[in-house]
Amino acid sequence: MSRAIYWFRNDLRLEDNEVLNKAVEENPEVLPVYVFDESLLRGEQWGIERMGSHRLKFLLESLEDLKAHLQQLGSDLLIKVGDTVTVLNDIRKTYNCDVLYAQKSSAYDEEQVENELTKTINTKFIWGETLYHLNDLPYHLDELPDIFTQFRKSVEKKADVRKLLEAPLQIHSPQGFGSEVSSLEDLGFEPVEEDDRSVIQFLGGAKAANDRLNYYLWDNELLGNYKQTRNGLIGGDYSSKFSPWLAHGCISPRQIYWEVKKFEKYVKKNSSTYWLVFELVWRDYFHFVAKKYGNQIYQRKGILGEDKIDWGSDKLFHLWRDGKTDEPFVDANMREMNATGFMSNRGRQNVASYLMHQMKIDWRLGAAYFEKMLIDYDPCSNYGNWIYIAGVGNDPRGGREFNIERQKEMYDPKGEYQELWAN
């Protein structure tokens, strides 16, 4: 009797999970596993921890939700801490497993782990991160356009979004298999205090993701005004806020896409409904760019291989990090992220531009700090956006420098957001 490991990564859901379905179909017994890799949990880059409490809290909540759903299907979740390759090999030996299934990653570092695993374990990695499947692109990845608009037009015209997949009806796992989800304190992290200024109280997991989807589309029909309101800064209704659940795979981009299509059929179809899908396509693009260029997206010179900014000293980075630059709009956004683990896209563009273009500080420090703090961190979108603004990514205009005064006038004309996060 064949026995398989299912290695959960950034796909913490049962619905619309092709890899999980294949594992269950092809093996009488499946062992769902999640690994906290020590290099991410305890590691640093640029002297900045890679995992902060806000991000970890959301992840732990997502695992709690996943565990509960697995138990409903007769299975459970085994959670381990350590070196991923070593841990998975130990599980393979302990439970006499024949094969490992997992969703394939588009990010370079994660791909390296996959390559190491293939040396010791029979593996099946299957694509599943994006709205458009890698195999359905109208060209080979090497021919991916370096300008987003070209990519968007080609996939809109020549590619289709695949249909949704149901969750497995049952998953058989060995008797007594599974473990408890650790707490922040168990893992050596400080507890998180909720801040009532947060745009919403984010809760990890597939249930919370679907609740948010229903709230935004059906309960309040907020999607119908998304394009007009998406740059608001205070409150939960101005934009979808789907990104934390997308980053952890608590919901798939296809689930959102097909729900939008239902909304267009039964409520309204307009520029706002298109614009939400447009943002999902942007997310796809950054994943495919990361897949195409590998570790170049982590390099200061990006995918172009040349600096566009005359970099200065990094000594004042702590002022930006702590929201103490004396630029109120930048500081407000940084304080929001530090307190809640979230920042609007408008805010992210402005604080990134300020760090690079005004302070002349290496953008990689900002990207690393975002990795630590943001509950919706994913390497492809994070680094794709940073190199874009730095002018060493996919911006055809050679980078974006934002006029902070103009941004304040447009998006916070009464200073309400700045006042909210003044301290």
Name the residue ranges covered by the structural domains of the chain: 3-128, 207-294, 299-420
The chain-wide mean pLDDT, for the chain, equals 97
DSSP string, 349-391: HHHHHIIIIIS---HHHHHHHHHHH-TT--HHHHHHHHHHHHT
For the chain, give me the number of helices (H) and strands (E)? 18, 7
Q: At what angle do helices 345-353 and 379-390 cross, to 10 degrees?
A: 50
Amino acid occupying residue 216:
Y
How far does CA 29 lie from the centroid of its chain?
30
CATH superfamily placement of domain 3-128? HUPs (3.40.50.620)
Cα–Cα distance measured from residue 298 to residue 181, given in angstroms and rounded to the nearest whole number: 32
Query: CA angle, 282 as apex, 281 and 287 as ends, to 5°?
Result: 95
For residue 208, the tally of other CB atoms under 10 A from its CB is 20
| Per-residue model confidence (pLDDT) at position 31 | 98
Query: CA angle, 148 as apex, 143 and 154 as ends, to 5°?
Result: 60
Mean pLDDT of 59-81: 98
Q: Do domains 3-128 and 207-294 have the same CATH topology?
A: no
- Given pLDDT bands bounded at 50, 70 and 90, which one contains residue 305? very high
Mean pLDDT of 238-259: 98
The answer on pLDDT for 310 being more than 90 is yes
SS3 30: strand
Mean pLDDT of 21-37: 98
| Per-residue model confidence (pLDDT) at position 414 | 97
DSSP state of 101: E
Classify domain 207-294 at the CATH class level. Answer: mainly alpha
Mean pLDDT of 356-374: 98
Round the CA-based radius of gyration of the chain to a whole number and report it: 21
Contact 171, 74 (CB under 8 A): yes
pLDDT digits (tens, 9 = 90+) for 176-201: 999 999 999 999 999 999 999 999 99
- Which residue shows structure tokens 């995992």? 51
The CATH code of domain 299-420 reads: 1.10.579.10
Is the pLDDT higher at 399 or at 305? Answer: 305
The encoded tokens of residue 5 equal: 């490991």
- Given pLDDT bands bounded at 50, 70 and 90, which one contains residue 391? very high
320 Cβ contact list (under 8 Å, min separation 6): 330, 334, 351, 354, 355, 359, 361, 366
Considering only CA atoms, which of 178, 7, 8, 9 is closest in space to residue 88? 7
Considering only CA atoms, which of 82, 58, 47, 52 is closest in space to residue 188? 52
Cα–Cα distance measured from residue 102 to residue 126, given in angstroms and rounded to the nearest whole number: 7
SS3 277: helix
The answer on pLDDT for 1 being more than 70 is no
pLDDT digits (tens, 9 = 90+) for 138-183: 999 999 999 999 999 999 999 999 999 999 999 999 999 999 999 9
| Per-residue model confidence (pLDDT) at position 170 | 97
